[in-house]
């Protein structure tokens, strides 16, 4: 038996229970933190040096061909695409997304790497060779949906066996940015319509930075933008801390991108950046959920320039590496065109040109 299997068996008792959630914060605390929140920070690596074909760097990174062993952690799960939580040998719990036909295995890698390289913080997504999960069934997400319905874990997973493992490929591992989440009761994250609460005079992000984030969301077609898919975070703070010196408003779930349907080249390429180019107005009303929490809004010239200056630093080779690194062509697309990385590069560059190569935006005040 491998060391990971022995560890997995030892973790069986803890695997059947989840840690208690931190007490919810009030709406006033949420609004106060959002008022001072940042949305952008200067990236550590210059944009023109970003390597989109590599996993996020760090001492705890994974090699793209690595076989990662972990122990299954059953419990409730959100969303509608295959995923599960797994505990690494060192005790860290991570989220695993899996399945060749799961578009989020590809979209979230590409979108998170792009945002991160441009300076908009996101969770870290790692492409790995395989995930070997001790205690997993062949399709753990099916059992987790059973748990979501209130059925006991023992019934949803009657054959839970930490002495055997299932392997998942393709698979990606997700690690969140560290910090204390600010949540108001059952409300999690933030709505795009709330970004108007950010106040530069109070130390929050500038309007240019906020508009650049809005415009980047439109470029990606981030249509599933309910509040829970964004996160309000106190960087560097533990759950027990009451401090919030460095609030951050970030996008935490970028799976529903490159659409309107996820990973749909034809529809993504045909979706315009501007609802009204003359006024630099953007909208997501034509996307699923009618734009959800994203309101129609006019982008300032400063916001357009802020994003254009950063997108303009990307080379064609980097954009190709972005889609190749996310293995876009491995998804079972319906058309040969969508399996051609060059077509994705062309669509991306067309969208960039719509932002960069245009007349200045009129006053949006």
Please write the tens of the pLDDT for every residue from 295-322: 999 999 999 999 999 999 999 999 999 9
When divided into structural domains, the chain yields a total of 1
CB 193 within 8 A of CB 294: yes
Residue 242, judged by CB atoms within 10 A of its CB (0-12, 13-18, 19+), counts as exposed
Within a domain: residue 284? yes
Within a domain: residue 142? yes
Per-state percent for the chain, helix, strand, coil, to nearest 5: 35, 15, 45
> Residue for token digits 């989220």?
95
Q: What is the pLDDT of residues 22-68, one digit of tens each?
A: 344 478 889 999 999 999 999 999 999 999 999 999 889 999 999 99
CB 214 within 8 A of CB 265: no
Residue 80, pLDDT score: 82
Mean pLDDT of the chain: 90
Within a domain: residue 139? yes
3-state secondary structure of 175: strand
3-state secondary structure of 286: coil
> Residue for token digits 């130390």?
203
Within a domain: residue 34? yes
**Model confidence, pTM:** 0.90
Residue 17, pLDDT score: 39
| pLDDT for residue 16 is more than 60 | no
Residue 20, pLDDT score: 38
CB 106 within 8 A of CB 328: yes
Strand 171-175 and strand 165-168: pairing? unpaired
Within a domain: residue 17? no
Within a domain: residue 48? yes
Distance of CA 173 to the CA centre of its chain: 12
Helices (H) and strands (E) in the chain, counts: 11, 12
CB 189 within 8 A of CB 229: yes
Query: Residue 264: CB partners within 8 Å, gap ≥ 6?
Result: 258, 338
Q: What is the CA radius of gyration of the chain?
A: 21
241 against 339, higher pLDDT: 339
Q: What is the pLDDT of residues 56-107, one digit of tens each?
A: 998 899 999 999 999 999 987 777 899 999 999 999 999 999 999 999 999 9
- Biggest CA pair distance of the chain: 67
Domain of residue 285: give its range: 3-12+28-356
20 against 252, higher pLDDT: 252
**Residue 119 vs residues 42, 46, 57, 203, 311: alpha-carbon distances, Å:** 5, 10, 15, 18, 11
3-state secondary structure of 352: helix
Within a domain: residue 330? yes
Residue 256, pLDDT score: 92
- The vertex-86 CA angle with 80 and 88, nearest 5°, equals 155
| pLDDT for residue 324 is more than 80 | yes
Long-range contacts at 264-268 (CB < 8 A, ≥ 24 apart): 264/338, 265/333, 265/335, 265/337, 265/338, 265/343, 265/344, 265/347, 266/335, 266/337, 266/338, 268/221, 268/347
| pLDDT for residue 5 is more than 60 | no
6 against 166, higher pLDDT: 166
Residue 3, pLDDT score: 42
Strand 83-87 and strand 165-168: pairing? unpaired
Residue 135, judged by CB atoms within 10 A of its CB (0-12, 13-18, 19+), counts as buried
d(CA 311, CA 299): 16
In this prediction, residue 238 has a pLDDT band, given cuts at 50, 70 and 90, of confident
The DSSP element (H or E) to which 34 belongs, if any, is helix 27-35
């Amino acid at each position: 038996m491998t060391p990971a299997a022995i560890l997995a068996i030892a973790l069986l008792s803890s695997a059947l229970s989840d840690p208690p959630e931190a007490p919810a914060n009030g709406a006033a605390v949420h609004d106060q933190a959002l008022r001072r929140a940042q949305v952008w920070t200067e990236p550590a690596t210059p944009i023109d040096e970003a390597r989109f074909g590599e996993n996020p760097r760090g001492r705890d990174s994974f090699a793209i061909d690595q076989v990662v062993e972990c122990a299954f952690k059953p419990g409730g799960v959100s969303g509608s695409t295959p995923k599960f939580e797994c505990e690494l040998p060192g005790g860290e719990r991570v989220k695993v997304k899996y399945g060749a036909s799961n578009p989020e295995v590809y979209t979230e890698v590409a979108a998170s790497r792009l945002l991160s390289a441009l300076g908009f913080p996101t969770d870290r997504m790692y492409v790995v060779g395989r995930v070997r999960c001790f205690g997993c069934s062949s399709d753990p997400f099916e059992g987790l949906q059973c748990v979501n319905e209130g059925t006991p874990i023992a019934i949803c997973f009657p054959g839970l066996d930490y002495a055997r493992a299932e392997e998942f490929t393709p698979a990606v591992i997700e690690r969140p940015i560290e910090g204390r989440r600010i949540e108001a009761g059952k409300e999690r994250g933030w709505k795009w319509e709330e970004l108007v609460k950010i106040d530069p005079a109070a130390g929050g992000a500038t309007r240019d930075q906020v508009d650049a984030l809005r415009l980047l969301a439109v470029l990606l077609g981030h249509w599933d933008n309910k509040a829970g898919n964004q996160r309000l975070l106190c960087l560097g703070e533990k759950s027990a801390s009451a401090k919030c010196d460095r609030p951050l408003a970030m996008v935490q779930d970028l799976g529903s991108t490159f659409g309107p349907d996820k990973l749909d080249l034809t529809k993504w390429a045909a979706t315009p950046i501007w609802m009204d180019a003359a006024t630099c107005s953007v909208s997501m009303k034509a996307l699923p959920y009618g734009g959800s929490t994203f309101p129609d809004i006019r982008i300032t010239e400063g916001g357009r320039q802020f994003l254009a200056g950063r997108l303009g630093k990307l080379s064609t080779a980097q954009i190709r590496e972005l889609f190749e690194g996310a293995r876009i062509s491995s998804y079972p697309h319906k058309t040969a065109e969508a399996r051609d990385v060059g077509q994705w590069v062309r669509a991306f560059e067309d969208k960039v040109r719509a932002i960069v190569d245009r007349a200045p935006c009129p006053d949006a005040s």
